[in-house]
Amino acid sequence: MAEGKGDLKLLGLWATPFVMRVRMVLEQKGLNYEYLEQDLSNKSELLLKHNPIYKKVPVLIHGDSGISESLVILQYVDENWSKTGPPLLPSTPYERAIARFWAAYIDDKLQASTRGILMAATEEAMTEKVADACAALETLEGAFESCSAGKDFFAGNSIGYLDIILGSLTVWIRVLENISGAKLLDETKVPLLVEWEKRFLTVDYVNKVLPTVERLEEYGRALRATT
Amino acid sequence: MAEGKGDLKLLGLWATPFVMRVRMVLEQKGLNYEYLEQDLSNKSELLLKHNPIYKKVPVLIHGDSGISESLVILQYVDENWSKTGPPLLPSTPYERAIARFWAAYIDDKLQASTRGILMAATEEAMTEKVADACAALETLEGAFESCSAGKDFFAGNSIGYLDIILGSLTVWIRVLENISGAKLLDETKVPLLVEWEKRFLTVDYVNKVLPTVERLEEYGRALRATT
């Protein structure tokens, strides 16, 4: 560990994109960490101690310090291990601002609408949330075009902050296409993102972390059935 | 200007806490900027060009680059003018993570509930939102105790990121006490924050930016009456 103050633990749930993104960054940085799958119906003392406000995952525990909220954790890992592995955020203040803007957009708009698709109780709600997700993806197609400037990933030729954040939703998006019957990552509407997703999914540590569509779909359908 | 790529403009609305916080940071850093009050019922070309996604203020325009979302702007200003004026965010990755966590909490919980008080259409909704705001302030009392460690401000002896973010809500909180008839910054429940607010309001650039309670209350009551 480059800059240590104790060992690293990650409290997580395998199916949550917010946890997937933290795991991908820890893998990308090559950090050793202990992954502790949580049961949120019976919250652990570690979780309650280190995230007393939200009592949610992910929580990264570094030594005795807990850090919550995935975007906060990603920036912490990048800043604390700035010399370990590739940088996650871009190098200039302006590019970092743009990356933070789109990260918040992905969580506010795309993630919220994919969650809406999963939990839609009526046909009407489903249609509305599918439209929201498609609109968010089309906006992100433009963001990708502008940020990547013809390169492979949002931040250039290697995976960065926005790739990890959007990438954590890719398997869910494919699952939700199966559940809704609607095309979300549609190559006629978001061709750059469809190609980006293919490149993203060829990366070893991405595949190590992301679950299969089949496993996540089984989980998603079970969640829909019980709520 | 320490690190320039052109002049600075801020598109704003005087009554919006998100704009107040950006202005306070620009003043704190001693940067020259042109403030352009916007009319959101007739959006300017500058606003539509530089924030096409949300079409909201604040937008900071630096040279020809627009940056939106107040927390993104604050970090941009701090990073781009890192050697001008006092640092806004703390120096260690862990302290920065804690500051980012609470900044998001202030916007998600406190700001949302104060907005809810302002727009409450029924007595029941008002009571609920007042309870939410009080709960958020009590949580923030604990955050202040932990972050400040006995010093004057969240980040120590001078104003930092969380002071500016929470501070941008102080006048609104006093206005909403008048509108709701409920005590929000109650010295029996949040004594540290009440003392913190007094210290915050003695700072010159804070007073230069923040409107008076009277002016903001007139605006708030007019907004309630028309929606």
Q: Quick one: pLDDT at residue A155?
A: 86
Going by the DSSP 8-state scheme, the letter that residue A109 receives in this structure is I
Going by the DSSP 8-state scheme, the letter that residue B4 receives in this structure is -
B105/A53 CB distance under 8 A:
yes
Interface mutation target, options A76, A82, A92, A106, chain B, most CBs of B under 10 Å: A76
Interface mutation target, options B49, B59, B94, chain A, most CBs of A under 10 Å: B94
A139/B65 CB distance under 8 A:
no
Q: Tell me whether A135 touches chain B (CB under 8 Å).
A: no
Q: Which two tokens stand for residue B173?
A: 């909180």
∠ Cα A165 A20 A102 (to 5°) = 10
Backbone dihedral angles phi then psi of residue A209, each to the nearest 5 degrees: -90, -45
Q: Tell me whether A141 touches chain B (CB under 8 Å).
A: no
Q: Which residues are CB-neighbours of B118 under 8 A, at least 6 positions away?
A: B172, B176, B179, B220, B223, B224
Residues of chain B contacting A50 with CB distance shorter than 8 Å: none
From residue B110, alpha-carbon distances to A184, A216, B54, B81, B184 in Å are 34, 35, 21, 29, 11
DSSP string, A4-41: -SS-EEEEE-TT-HHHHHHHHHHHHTT---EEEE--TT
pLDDT digits (tens, 9 = 90+) for A149-189: 999 999 899 999 999 999 999 999 999 999 999 999 999 99
Q: What secondary structure, in 3-state letters, does B146-180 show?
A: HHHCCCCECCECCCCHHHHHHHCCHHHHHHHHHHH
Q: Quick one: pLDDT at residue B209?
A: 98
Q: Quick one: pLDDT at residue B109?
A: 97
Q: Are A45 and A192 in contact, with CB atoms under 8 Å apart?
A: no
∠ Cα A105 A110 A111 (to 5°) = 100
Nearest by Cα to B10 from B72, B54, B84, B67: B67
What's the CA gap between B111 and A178, in Å, rounded? 38
Chain A, window 65-84: residues with a beta carbon less than 8 angstroms from a chain B beta carbon:
65, 67-69, 71-73, 75-76, 79-80
Q: Quick one: pLDDT at residue A85?
A: 83
pLDDT digits (tens, 9 = 90+) for A183-227: 999 999 999 999 999 999 999 999 999 999 999 999 999 999 987
Q: Are A206 and A165 in contact, with CB atoms under 8 Å apart?
A: no
Domains by residue range for chain B, with CATH: 8-80 (3.40.30.10), 93-226 (1.20.1050.10)
Q: Is the per-residue pLDDT at A1 higher than 50?
A: no
Q: Is the per-residue pLDDT at A2 higher than 60?
A: no
The partner residue sitting opposite B100, judged by closest CB among A53, A72, A98, is: A72
- Spell B6-32 as b/e; 16+ CB within 10 A means b: eebbbbbbbbbbbbbbbbbbbbbbebe
pLDDT digits (tens, 9 = 90+) for A49-92: 999 999 999 999 999 999 999 999 999 999 999 999 889 999 99
Which residue reads 């007019």 in tokens? B222
Confirm whether the ipTM is greater than 0.90. yes
Per-residue pLDDT of chain B (227 residues; tens, 9 = 90+): 344 567 999 999 999 999 999 999 999 999 999 999 999 999 999 999 999 999 999 999 999 999 999 999 999 999 999 999 889 999 999 999 999 999 999 999 999 999 999 999 999 999 999 999 999 999 999 999 999 999 999 989 999 999 999 999 999 999 999 999 999 999 999 999 999 999 999 999 999 999 999 999 999 999 999 87
At residue A144 the predicted structure's pLDDT band, cuts being 50, 70 and 90, is: very high
Q: Quick one: pLDDT at residue A6?
A: 76
What's the CA gap between B207 and B212, in Å, rounded? 9
